[in-house]
Structure 1
Amino acid sequence: MATASTTPRQIPIVCPGHTRPLAEVSFLCPPDEPNRTLLVSACHDKQPMIRDAASGDWIGTWSGHKGAVWSTKLDPMGYLAATASGDFSVKVWDAITGKDLMTFAHKHIVKTVDFSLDSKYLASGGHEGILRVFELEKGQKAEEPGNVKEMKQAQDKVNITKCIWLDNDLLLAAASDGKIRCWNVGSESNVCTLEVEAEVRDMEVTHLTKDGESQIILTIAAGTSVSFFKLVISGEGKDKKLEGSLLHCHKMPIHFREEGGATLHPSSGKKFVAGGSDLWVRVFDFETGEELECHRGHHGPIRCLRYAPDGKTYATGSEDGTIRLWKTDPKEES
């Protein structure tokens, strides 16, 4: 097991600006700017931000929410941003100018948002236990009855903690009952349900190529474990289905009862980073769960983390209100 004394010390880039605990971080490489990577962050201070992911320099803030922001995402083109808030609303912004374009009202705290791969739809979920899908081309009218699709997760109320589009048809929703449901949005049917030990705190989808084979790996942080599922998609359109098989379930030296999480290396798939109930940022072996690295830099528990798309760096957000950018292989880049 790696310890602070055996792990080579790394000094991360510190990104100040937030004043409350972080809730989510995510990266995007805009297709029309292939040499640039953006980093967006959601925070309890109501002020979601966008930064240059290489330097950590602040680019802008989307101001307008009256409650904690739990989720911030850029659309695949990098033109739109969406935010989910404790003020019972989802907002869509112009990611370039910062203009507030749309506001979709909800009846409870909204914890997660995600754009479809074609940028036409926005999904949201939270404490209502209802997964909503808005057709963005309809603008503000997308939230009117009959225009928004609503998929209830269970007979008994559950909280949706994360949602992720697999493609333009299939949408994953993770919940407080430990279940990850896959919905075919066209048919509005639940086509697959996976289950873990506790409330899902974090969920990530990674597309890998191993030995010439394309794989979809689902990473789940829940309870005291990080689980990895292999996903297989079959069929087309409204007949599209999903199957998932458990690859690994690794017990962690931390728990994920708060806003911790895990992220899989996006190109090799050989290691993952996890953080949660303490101050340490840990790197683990994907196959064995062995701890490879252990870093300290934050002054509060780790609340969120993600690898950059090229896998050369990863970001961690903490209760201390800062984001830190770490090198994946500092020796190779020194």
Structure 2
Amino acid sequence: MAMRQTPLTCSGHTRPVVDLAFSGITPYGYFLISACKDGKPMLRQGDTGDWIGTFLGHKGAVWGATLNKDATKAATAAADFTAKVWDAVSGDELMTLAHKHIVKTVDFTQDSNYLLTGGQDKLLRIYDLNKPEAEPKEISGHTSGIKKALWCSEDKQILSADDKTVRLWDHATMTEVKSLNFNMSVSSMEYIPEGEILVITYGRSIAFHSAVSLDPIKSFEAPATINSASLHPEKEFLVAGGEDFKLYKYDYNSGEELESYKGHFGPIHCVRFSPDGELYASGSEDGTLRLWQTVVGKTYGLWKCVLPEEDSGELAKPKINFPETAEEELEEIAAENSDSIYSSTPEVKA
């Protein structure tokens, strides 16, 4: 039975949300960080979207944000020519790493001892966080600004993307192993450690490559320009979002489109699955983050499935308990998704 998505809307940002990342699963659950052009990255509880805190200190748009595995540290990349490392528990700034141009991307090693950065000056930098005064190691070779840089293969290699090229580097020798060239701008890149899969989006394409060899695995074409895509941890589904304000969900094995619906009131810039695969988050030009269920109607986080017999014989429908949810927004999005079996919006409890 088809059930309509009832997203949790996370407000608080005042400008477009351009990047988001989940932590691993910790004893306290998992966490979500968002990067925004308002210069104020935010930390949230990952399964509910509840705001925990805002990292204050950047003097320009924040283009990239990440958490380490256990969510004890955060890192941000900004237009003020700095990357910053933060204590994600207290919110305190731990260090500011000066760059020569806008910084777009940050990524911790698994042990949180090193930070990889990339940006408009076309250089990859590796900082030893235990020696903040030491000069970073630099890797040159990109011919345009770096959009994304990620550790891979247990931190033995690095993946990085500039405008139309994805490159694989050896960490030990700091040399390029292989590169992929595209005929249009690469909009996003995600690395899946289990199975060493690289997800790349460009134009309307969502392409999957081996992260070890860069060899192609498969690719999908979406109906609109895609800005970001994410593969489910169990590799069952992938989700993507882009310029037409819609979210698309595909079966990874068959390529079949399973769902598509208006997700936001502006282009979608970033989508990511949670580490347990139960939900995915999207960030948009409209300034909001939204959390969506992978399996609609399941009781999880703030979602509670109401079974038909509990609900006056009506069809089962998901309900959410979410304070300060903008009901009109949900109704407007619901109205756009008219292929649903409902004529009215699933109830949102305040």
- Asked if TM exceeds 0.5, the reply is yes
Q: Structure 2: give runs of 5+ residues left out of the alignment.
A: 300-304, 306-350
Q: Any idea what the Cα deviations from partners look like across 1:209-249, whole Å, max 9, x if unmatched?
A: xxxxxx21110011221100123xxxxxxxxxx31220112
Q: CA deviation at 1:7?
A: 6.0
Q: Which amino acid aligns with 1:9?
A: R
CA distance in 1, matches of 2:294, 2:198: 21
Confirm or deny that 1:246 pairs with 2:213: no
Q: 1:225 aligns with which of 205, 227, 230?
A: 205
The corresponding residue for 2:190 is 204
2:104–2:120 contact (8 Å) kept in structure 1:
yes
CA distance in 2, matches of 1:294, 1:97: 39
CA distance in 1, matches of 2:248, 2:176: 35
Counterparts of residues 52-201 of structure 1 (less than 5 Å): 52-139=45-132, 141-142=133-134, 144=135, 148-154=136-142, 157-166=143-152, 167-176=154-163, 178-201=164-187
CA distance in 2, matches of 1:316, 1:107: 30
CA distance in 2, matches of 1:197, 1:60: 41
2:25–2:275 contact (8 Å) kept in structure 1:
no
CA distance in 2, matches of 1:79, 1:250: 36
Residue 315 of structure 1 aligns to a residue in which SS? strand
CA distance in 1, matches of 2:79, 2:70: 26
1:115–1:121 contact (8 Å) kept in structure 2:
yes
Q: Which amino acid aligns with 2:22?
A: F
2:3–2:297 contact (8 Å) kept in structure 1:
no
1:47–1:62 contact (8 Å) kept in structure 2:
yes
Confirm or deny that 1:266 pairs with 2:233: yes
1:22–1:318 contact (8 Å) kept in structure 2:
yes
Residue 193 of structure 2 aligns to a residue in which SS? strand
Q: Which amino acid aligns with 1:266?
A: P
CA distance in 2, matches of 1:77, 1:290: 35
Larger Rg: 2
Q: CA deviation at 1:297?
A: 3.7
CA distance in 2, matches of 1:55, 1:77: 18
CA distance in 1, matches of 2:46, 2:39: 21
Using the size of structure 2 for normalisation, the TM-score is: 0.82
Q: CA deviation at 1:104?
A: 1.0
Q: 1:21 aligns with which of 16, 22, 35?
A: 16
1:112–1:125 contact (8 Å) kept in structure 2:
yes
Counterparts of residues 262-301 of structure 1 (less than 5 Å): 262-267=229-234, 269-301=235-267
The corresponding residue for 1:308 is 274
Q: What is the Cα-based RMSD across aligned positions, in Å? A: 1.6
Residue 173 of structure 1 aligns to a residue in which SS? strand
Confirm or deny that 1:321 pairs with 2:321: no
Q: CA deviation at 1:30?
A: 4.7
4+ residue runs over 6 A deviation: none
Q: CA deviation at 1:197?
A: 3.5
Q: Any idea what the Cα deviations from partners look like across 1:226-285, whole Å, max 9, x if unmatched?
A: 100123xxxxxxxxxx312201121211114xxx20000111x12210001011111012
Q: Which amino acid aligns with 1:189?
A: T
CA distance in 1, matches of 2:295, 2:182: 31
Q: Which amino acid aligns with 1:44?
A: K
The corresponding residue for 1:8 is 3
Q: Which has the higher strand share?
A: 1
Q: Which amino acid aligns with 1:174?
A: A
CA distance in 2, matches of 1:190, 1:53: 35
| Structure 1 residues 30 and 330, CA gap change in structure 2 (3 angstroms) | closer
CA distance in 2, matches of 1:151, 1:7: 50
The corresponding residue for 2:31 is 38
